[in-house]
Amino acid sequence: MSLSSFPNPLRNPSVAIVGATGAVGGELIRCLEDRAFPLSRLRLLASQRSAGRALSFRGAPAPVETLDADSFRGIDLALFAADTATARTYAPHATAAGAVVIDNSSAFRMDLDCPLVVPEVNLETLSGHRGVIANPNCVAILACVAVAPLQRRFGLRRLQLSTYQAASGAGAPAMDELAQATEAYLAGRSYAPRVLRHPYAFNLFSHDAEVDPQSGYNGEELKVMAETRRILGSFNLPIGVTCVRVPVLRAHAIALSLELDAPVPPAAIREALAEAPGVCVVDDREANHFPMPVEAQGQGEVLVGRIRRDLGDPSGRSVALFLAGDQLLKGAALNAVQIAERLLVA
């Protein structure tokens, strides 16, 4: 599909970032700068308590303005990095002003009128947007970048995931809490959690999204399952997931087991992943070197390794993988900017 086939193509757009002072907002600013995104103007928007601050963009100060209903006059592209309530309230104002919205919250992800896009996986769905495009859940993005090329080549019958999610997934306050709790722990001082429910330093715990009393799955797990099915275009795909918060600042890791249509040698899996866009294979058995958050953070590719048969499946159809990807970049800001890039006129 050519770039110019998308509705309302953009050329040198004026861009607004909603939630510019948060963790994802800061990464959006850096991504636009690092990738030389051809914008004509950048407007930074946040809550009233952040207004008046000055951030930096392309070597110049960029003032933060208070978000309100009139903030989108003259804006062509609005990148939302705020919570669901903010997105539901202000995205309609942005589209009414003529802007295309790329939203990082969960507000529109299951709205079938809003494409849920991972550019390496389902770019073709972008052509159906009606002014709002949803950026998927970070776990779903990272998993689908690795799973989709295997699904296309070998078929996919079932998917099982266990996640190891960094503090960045809960925002800058959780990252600060991890740093402060670790410092207190090492100094022998007590530290009462303020952002998350449980002690974070040298600890891990189930993702603290609300647990559904009937299924026993929490909200994060249910989102990952629903969004992964939608991104992969397989609404009946059996998926199981367990989401765990681990004491890592940024970059999530995921252990996956994929049941394919037929047995596939690990070498063929490795070859398919090596050719896949957005994937970097890190699979050195001799050196016991596999994907790690410390190597995934700060770069946009999803690191994939531990490629092997899943011996828990006697049919031989299942393969096991381990991946790590930067939650703030490919899991959020970078994916949004890559979507924006595809809206530009060629």
Residues annotated as catalytic are: 138, 252
Residue for token pair 């999803």: 302
State the amino acid at position 221 in one-letter form. Answer: E
Q: Report d(CA 262, CA 319) in Å as an integer.
A: 11
Q: How many residues does the chain have?
A: 346
State the amino acid at position 310 in one-letter form. Answer: D
Q: Report d(CA 77, CA 95) in Å as an integer.
A: 9
Environment class of residue 262 by beta-carbon count within 10 Å: exposed (0-12), middle (13-18) or buried (19+)? Answer: exposed
Coil, strand or helix at 27:
helix
To the nearest 10°, report the CA torsion of 195, 198, 204, 210.
-80
Residue closest to 335 by CA, chosen among 73, 136, 166:
136
Q: Under the phi-then-psi rule, with left for phi > 0, alpha for psi from -120 to 50, and beta for the rest, what region is 298?
A: left
CA 193 to chain centre: 25
CA 217 to chain centre: 20
Residue closest to 334 by CA, chosen among 189, 118, 154:
118
